[in-house]
Amino acid sequence: MPTTPPLTLPATVDLRQRAHAHLRDGNTSLPPPGEQASEAMRVLYQLAAAPETAPSALALLHELQVHQVELALQADTLQAAHDELAAGLARQVQLYDCAPTAYLTIGPDTRVWDANLTAAHSLGLARQALIGHRLDGWVASPHALHSLMGRITQGEPMAAGLLRMGTSPAQTRSVCASLSADPAGERFLVTLTELPEA
């Protein structure tokens, strides 16, 4: 099972140096300790007050303060990384939704699990209404769609072909369908690109 790699030494050293600098400059506000931490600190302060244990207790107290500042700096870094990822995800969702090409995620039975706004508009349904419908219900020859899916199931990284889409012969139109495996599961990623009619 893969594990999270430990912090590299340069990152750890840098964090420790930053923590020492914050304590030295006196500009770090630490969160209040919990009940157990408060009891431990009370004992530590008692040890620091006794001459025979003061040097060790003071060294330990300083080490604990440095460690607490390190944790606070790590929390700030993690929050900044989280905010950056959230902003990136929002951008990707907007690009997906507003793309001029129809994007769908379908299951092995061609049931739609996800679709962008262009796909919903192309199929004439609101996006939420489209979810759960079978895509092969819009294909004039469902066998052509299933054939593309079969190629992906057999290991091809991508399969593309022409499909006639529409609910009646008079309303069919040609689209180029590209399929690939969904990395997140046993589904298919589908791209439908409208082709100009001759």
Per-residue pLDDT of the chain (198 residues; tens, 9 = 90+): 445 454 444 455 565 666 566 656 665 455 455 555 567 667 767 777 778 777 877 777 778 888 888 888 899 999 999 999 999 999 998 998 889 999 999 999 999 999 999 999 988 889 999 999 999 999 988 999 999 999 999 999 999 999 998 766 567 888 999 999 999 888 999 999 988 765
pTM of the model: 0.61
163 token code pair: 């499909």
Q: Which domains does the chain have, with CATH numbers?
A: 9-96 (no CATH), 100-194 (3.30.450.20)
